[in-house]
């Protein structure tokens, strides 16, 4: 389970407000809103990419989904339960790797696995925590770096470890905030392929629900079941991408149907208002269905 429902979610960073403004905010009104009445259902097991220009509110939304801040108005629920703070039903991968610098790669992954095991009552032994952690490091190609510290790893390697930790925690929902944003083009492509491969692998087992923030349209196309475009705190488009994985970048990104979506998204980036269109029935150009 891992269905995520946003109902009329608003968010404002201002807290130094007069009574009337506070009342308007409580009703989800006001010019200071960064998130403006967002409603969305992310199905269990769906990989949703959130794209949009800088400053449109993507990170704010992700932090709100992570429970690091409460919506100013509206509500968020996971499997019908209201979200009321951070929880081990979600793990987050940030752009800046967020590994503990004093721990080895293995210890970083073990920390997450142990914490999840304790909080969720899984009762893993020390040996089991180590085994799970090593297996996830191997899945991201980092088994040989298990005993190295973050300062001994490149950005791409650190991000592999962060992904291994998030996956090894075995949470229902994964939240990614531009995880490849600081990496060079080649490393970025490698990690996109890794992420795709991990999702294909997960298909055999049980897929996680993912919300993945990115600026990169091609990255979203390669990874997503669904792309939501955000502008100025609102959702402007919701585009299904029902193609099978893995998606070979060279071939997939050249498909005419995919080029159409690229063009639509570029149009939205460059002129969000004029190019707003109904993209709802886009899945008919792809094989497969929108929902997993």
Ligand X SMILES: Nc1ncnc2c1ncn2[C@@H]1O[C@H](COP(=O)(O)OP(=O)(O)OP(=O)(O)O)[C@@H](O)[C@H]1O
C-alpha separations of 129 from 133, 148, 195 in Å: 6, 18, 23
Q: Specify whether the CB–CB gap between 222 and 189 falls below 8 A.
A: no
The CB-of-60 to ligand X minimum distance in angstroms stands at 3
The CB-of-27 to ligand X minimum distance in angstroms stands at 20
Residue closer to ligand X, measured from CB, 96 or 262? 96
The CB-of-123 to ligand X minimum distance in angstroms stands at 38
Strands 173-177 and 90-93: parallel
Give the footprint of ligand X on this chain (CB under 6 A).
Answer: 13, 34, 52, 54-60, 215
Burial of 84 (0-12, 13-18, 19+ CB in 10 A): exposed
C-alpha separations of 177 from 181, 228, 244 in Å: 9, 14, 24
The CB-of-53 to ligand X minimum distance in angstroms stands at 7
Residue closer to ligand X, measured from CB, 15 or 278? 15
Residue closer to ligand X, measured from CB, 45 or 57? 57
Residue closer to ligand X, measured from CB, 65 or 109? 65
The CB-of-196 to ligand X minimum distance in angstroms stands at 23
Residue closer to ligand X, measured from CB, 56 or 228? 56
Peptide bond into 18 cis (omega under 30): no
Helices (H) and strands (E) in the chain, counts: 9, 10
């Amino acid at each position: 389970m891992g269905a995520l429902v946003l109902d009329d979610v608003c968010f404002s960073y201002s807290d130094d407000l007069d009574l009337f403004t506070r009342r308007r905010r409580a009703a989800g009104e006001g010019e200071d809103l960064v998130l403006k009445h967002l409603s969305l259902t992310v199905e269990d097991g769906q990989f949703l990419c959130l794209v949009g220009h800088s400053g449109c509110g993507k990170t704010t939304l992700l932090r709100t989904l992570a429970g690091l801040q409460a919506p100013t108005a509206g509500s968020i629920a996971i499997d019908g339960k209201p979200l009321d703070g951070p929880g081990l039903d979600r793990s987050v991968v940030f752009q800046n790797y967020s590994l503990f610098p004093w721990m080895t790669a293995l210890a970083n992954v073990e920390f997450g696995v142990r914490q999840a095991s304790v909080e969720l009552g899984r009762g893993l032994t020390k040996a089991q925590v180590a085994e799970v952690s090593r297996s996830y490091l191997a899945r991201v190609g980092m088994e040989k770096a298990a005993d190295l510290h973050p300062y001994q790893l490149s950005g791409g390697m650190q991000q592999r470890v962060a992904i291994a930790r998030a996956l090894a925690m075995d949470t229902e929902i994964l939240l990614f905030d531009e995880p490849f944003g600081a990496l060079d083009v080649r490393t970025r492509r490698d990690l996109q392929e890794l992420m795709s491969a991990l999702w294909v692998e997960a298909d055999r087992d049980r897929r996680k629900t993912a919300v993945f923030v990115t600026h990169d349209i091609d990255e979203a196309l390669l990874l997503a079941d669904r792309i939501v475009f955000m502008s100025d705190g609102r959702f402007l488009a919701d585009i299904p991408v029902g193609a099978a994985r893995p998606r070979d970048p060279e071939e997939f990104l050249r498909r005419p149907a995919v080029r159409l979506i690229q063009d639509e998204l570029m149009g939205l980036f460059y002129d969000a208002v004029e190019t707003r269109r109904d993209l709802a029935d886009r899945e008919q150009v792809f094989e497969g269905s929108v929902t997993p």
